[in-house]
């Protein structure tokens, strides 16, 4: 039999971390331990109150049926209240908030709602690989706009204006930025919003890192008039240690939300109600939750910086988020060469920056989602090899 795959898969590769996890598993099958400093997978549980809500609500026999595709009213209101408290923005929870089964799925929903074959998408380089893969699955053309260290990893509006933007439908931004940890000021964000409005582009800000090692919580809706053409994704995965729970949200005006809902309602049958109720509890936690989380990440960051120092990589002390991004020494051809060498010789996996785009080829990334003891073990192994 010769059953051909769909043409949409021709340019889409398996997610890098999917293949790397398989490679690491093969190494560990031989009895060798690998320290994985690659993935931003929180290594601690959610708050105990969140777990208690999940358990108690799961025992309610009436909570096990299909749920509203828009999410329960309590969760939409909890998201709106959380945004009001921390981002200082007003959202109508009944029309401008859409709970999602993870913000990664939201990237697909938005793309399917707005992209036709042949239209163009502006994607940051470096940036989250899913923006590109989903655009390719939708048959869109991709223009990667440069983010460079010398410009603070921020969009260069003048360069963007010189492009042929006639067919551009969506522009993705992501601040605080992954993988670099760069932040964006309100003034710069306003520039990007105004650029998108001048050129009739749907601007989407992917915003899951604004609470990690960062006390300046910025939403795209802090910009007046942004609801006209902007959407924003957020997630409980990182800041509430709920990565496997798959709880995210999309915010924007009613028209955009309803367009995305047409896709979403044909792709899932609603989120398990006890998870939604537990998410409400997570969103209502005291500020001390975020403070304690960031104290933990700050201690880990010190050790991650020491690892980068041993490697000879240069980083910014001002970065936010749960990753350390650093430029490798010139003696290495590129980050892939360095990371393969470290995995082979020390059994420590560090992410090579090329997976986020060509502008990341001379950079590496370390995740802070590992305990201090694990990071110290990695530091000792790498120090022994390189010193």
* CA–CA separation, 201 and 122 (whole Å): 9
The pLDDT tens digits of the residues spanning 111-132 come to 999 999 999 999 999 999 999 9
Q: What is residue 295's predicted lDDT score, i.e. its pLDDT?
A: 97
Q: Which domains does the chain have, with CATH numbers?
A: 7-45+288-386 (3.90.1150.10), 48-283 (3.40.640.10)
* CA–CA separation, 295 and 290 (whole Å): 9
The strand pairing partners of 204, in sequence order, are 172, 231
DSSP 65-131: S---TT--HHHHHHHHHHHHHHH-----TTTSEEEES-HHHHHHHHHHHH--TT-EEEEEES--HHH
* CA–CA separation, 183 and 152 (whole Å): 8
The strand pairing partners of 348, in sequence order, are 35
In the predicted model, is pLDDT for residue 212 greater than 90? yes
In the predicted model, is pLDDT for residue 233 greater than 80? yes
* CA–CA separation, 217 and 320 (whole Å): 11
The pLDDT tens digits of the residues spanning 134-164 come to 999 999 999 999 999 999 999 999 999 999 9
Judge contact between 157 and 198, C-beta under 8 A: no
* CA–CA separation, 335 and 107 (whole Å): 28
Tokens standing for 351? 């992410």
The Cα-based distances of 372 to 117, 181, 302, 303, 368 in angstroms read 47, 20, 9, 7, 9
Q: What is the pTM of this model?
A: 0.92
Give the number of residues written for the chain.
Answer: 387
**Residues 6+ away with beta carbon under 8 Å from 7:** none
The pLDDT tens digits of the residues spanning 282-324 come to 999 999 999 999 999 999 999 999 999 999 999 999 999 999 9
- Which helix (H) or strand (E) segment holds residue 373: the answer is helix 372-386
Judge contact between 15 and 129, C-beta under 8 A: yes
Task: Give the distance from CA 265 to its chain's centroid.
Answer: 23
Tokens standing for 216? 């300046």
- pLDDT band for 265, please (50, 70, 90 cuts): very high
Longest distance between any two alpha carbons in the chain, whole Å: 62
Task: State the chain's mean pLDDT as an integer.
Answer: 93
CA torsion, ordered 213, 177, 219, 92, to nearest 10 deg: -110
* CA–CA separation, 230 and 92 (whole Å): 15
Handedness of CA 13, 15, 17, 20 (dihedral sign): negative
* CA–CA separation, 212 and 364 (whole Å): 19
* CA–CA separation, 387 and 62 (whole Å): 61
Q: What is residue 38's predicted lDDT score, i.e. its pLDDT?
A: 87
SS3 content of the chain, % helix, strand, coil (to 5): 45, 15, 40
């Amino acid at each position: 039999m010769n059953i051909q795959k769909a043409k949409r898969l021709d340019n889409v590769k398996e997610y890098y971390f999917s293949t790397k996890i398989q490679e690491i598993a093969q190494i560990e099958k031989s009895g060798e331990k690998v320290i994985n400093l690659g993935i931003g997978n929180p290594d601690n549980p959610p708050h105990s109150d969140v777990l208690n809500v999940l358990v108690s609500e799961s025992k309610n026999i009436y909570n096990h049926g299909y749920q509203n595709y828009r999410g329960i009213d309590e969760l939409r209101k909890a998201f709106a209240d959380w945004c009001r408290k921390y981002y200082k923005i007003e959202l109508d929870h009944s029309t401008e908030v859409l709970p999602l089964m993870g913000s990664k799925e939201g990237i697909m929903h938005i793309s399917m709602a707005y992209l036709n074959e042949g239209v163009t998408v502006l994607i940051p380089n470096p940036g989250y690989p899913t923006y590109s893969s989903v655009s390719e699955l939708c048959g869109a053309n991709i223009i990667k706009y440069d983010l460079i260290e010398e410009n603070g990893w921020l969009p260069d509006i003048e360069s963007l204006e010189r492009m042929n933007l006639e067919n551009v439908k969506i522009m993705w931004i992501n601040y605080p930025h992954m993988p670099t940890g760069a932040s964006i000021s309100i003034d710069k964000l306003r520039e990007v919003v105004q650029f998108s409005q001048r050129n009739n582009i749907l601007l989407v800000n992917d915003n899951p890192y604004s609470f990690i090692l960062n006390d300046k919580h910025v939403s795209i809706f802090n910009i007046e008039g942004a609801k006209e053409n902007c959407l924003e994704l957020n997630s409980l995965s990182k800041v509430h240690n709920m990565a496997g729970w798959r709880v995210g949200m999309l915010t924007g005006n009613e028209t955009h939300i309803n367009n995305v809902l047409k896709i979403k309602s044909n792709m899932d049958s609603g989120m398990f109600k006890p998870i939604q109720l537990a998410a409400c509890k997570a969103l209502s936690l005291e500020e001390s939750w975020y403070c304690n989380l960031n104290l933990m990440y700050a201690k880990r960051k010190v050790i991650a910086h020491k690892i980068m120092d041993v490697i000879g990589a240069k980083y910014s002390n001002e970065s936010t988020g749960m990753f350390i991004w650093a430029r490798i020494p010139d003696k290495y051809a590129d980050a892939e060469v360095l990371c393969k060498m470290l995995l082979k010789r020390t059994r420590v996996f560090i992410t090579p920056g090329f997976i986020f785009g060509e502008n990341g080829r001379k950079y590496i990334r370390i995740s802070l989602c590992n305990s201090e003891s694990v990071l110290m073990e990695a530091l000792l192994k790498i120090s022994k090899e390189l010193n």
